[in-house]
Amino acid sequence: MKPASRLSLLKPSPIRAITDGTPPGAIPLGLGEPTWALPEPARLALLRPAGPCGYVPHVGLPDLRKAVATFHGATVDEVLITTGSQGALFSLFQAWVEPGTKVLVPDPGFVAYPALARMAGAVPVTYPLSPDHFRLDAEALLQVLEATPDASAVLLNLPSNPTGGGGDLAALRRVAAACEARGLLLISDEVYRDLHFGVRPPGLRDVTDCGVVVSSVSKGWGAPGLRVGWAIGDPAWLTPARVVHGYAVTGTATPAQWAALALIEHSDAILAEARAAILERWEALATALNRELGQTVTPPDGTFYHFMPLPTEAHADPLAFALRLRDEAGVVAIPGLAFGEGGRGHLRLSFAATPEQLQEGIKRLAPYWKPRP
């Protein structure tokens, strides 16, 4: 048996190499998901009274589309409900990325972007983030775009997995104008936008309604297992993606859409609680880093990721270093190199873990950052 040749373009994720084989008792700082309970409105919505559980329209449950539209300041026909934001990304790529073209993706960036580009028959081309805090650097992105005449799509992720860096309005405006001038699909993945520390970071719709924003209930609303996400944009971009999504999965599970509707209807309280949860965890992490390693750290623009500089001697083989942390220290964390060459000098720590796990995890990691006698 031989799988289709397009599969040969997909490399196994180094994240799996770290998380598979996690020893018992290891502190999980690798997870990219909330660890707190599914908020009550969703739990109640899943206990639905007797009645059918039928299909809903391919574009999503009408009330959920309405609620998502209101949340994003969009119209209902600008909303496509998908199976996670991943379902939105897959469908947009399949619908719009012509085989043989190029897709611009951040480096470091979410591991799925290059894979989705390859599955669409395209070649991922990376653009760097700013050298200081790994934020969107419009100048750097536009240089790559200019050198890529056969680009078909550009991906932004604000705030970023794995770095937590966002972007400012001026940078977003420049990138949006350049993509619009070339008629390129600009996708802004904003799944972490509501997990911020203080001011809500800017999003693409603050500067244009020409691109497509993708998001989901997976991070801010604490419900990755529901698998409900969406794409927001001009129906001209969404209609072909709806065709792909419809043939791939028909639609997102109906009970999951009931629960997602309940979550969005209670957004103010749920998102505020999620922010309080990550702030408490961030403070535990920052205190532990200061106590154990003397480091003073500032919170990311958003997300629950801390992109921690690695000791210089770990740069040559960050995967081996992360495996030592896992097997000797009992801490699971993801080497930045898993997200691209630009992440080589860093380790992604997820602080979605409990404050106690964070304190214990940093205590265990500390000896590996201290110069050896």
Ligand X SMILES: Cc1ncc(COP(=O)(O)O)c(C=O)c1O
Binding positions for ligand X, rule: CB under 6 A: 32, 84-86, 110, 157, 161, 189, 191, 216, 218, 224, 229
Residue 311 dihedral angles phi and psi, to the nearest 5°:
-60, 145
Least distance between ligand X and beta carbon 146 (Å): 26
Q: Closest CB to ligand X among 86 and 359?
A: 86
Q: Closest CB to ligand X among 226 and 314?
A: 226
Least distance between ligand X and beta carbon 263 (Å): 13
- Sequence length of the chain is 373
Least distance between ligand X and beta carbon 190 (Å): 9
Interhelix angle 138-146/169-182, rounded to 10 degrees, is 20
Least distance between ligand X and beta carbon 216 (Å): 3
Least distance between ligand X and beta carbon 157 (Å): 5
Least distance between ligand X and beta carbon 287 (Å): 26
d(C-alpha 168, C-alpha 365), whole Å = 33
Q: Closest CB to ligand X among 201 and 364?
A: 201
Nearest position to ligand X, beta carbon: 84
Q: DSSP letters along 61-103, please?
A: -HHHHHHHHHHHT--GGGEEEESHHHHHHHHHHHHH--TT-EE
d(C-alpha 253, C-alpha 371), whole Å = 52
Under a CB-based contact definition with an 8 Å cutoff, are residues 282 and 252 in contact?
Answer: no
Going across the sheet that includes 334-335, the strands are: 305-309, 346-350, 334-335
Least distance between ligand X and beta carbon 86 (Å): 3
Q: Closest CB to ligand X among 275 and 348?
A: 348
* CB neighbour list of residue 4: distance below 8 Å, 6 or more residues apart: none
d(C-alpha 168, C-alpha 182), whole Å = 22
Nearest to 261 by CA among 222, 224, 217: 217
Q: Closest CB to ligand X among 292 and 301?
A: 301
Least distance between ligand X and beta carbon 228 (Å): 8
36's enclosing H/E stretch is none
Q: Closest CB to ligand X among 116 and 314?
A: 116
Least distance between ligand X and beta carbon 87 (Å): 7
Q: Closest CB to ligand X among 288 and 338?
A: 338
Q: Closest CB to ligand X among 177 and 197?
A: 197
Three-state SS at 237: helix
Q: Provide the terminal-to-terminal Cα distance of the chain, rounded to the nearest Å.
A: 54
Q: Closest CB to ligand X among 193 and 275?
A: 193
d(C-alpha 334, C-alpha 348), whole Å = 5
Burial of 70 (0-12, 13-18, 19+ CB in 10 A): middle
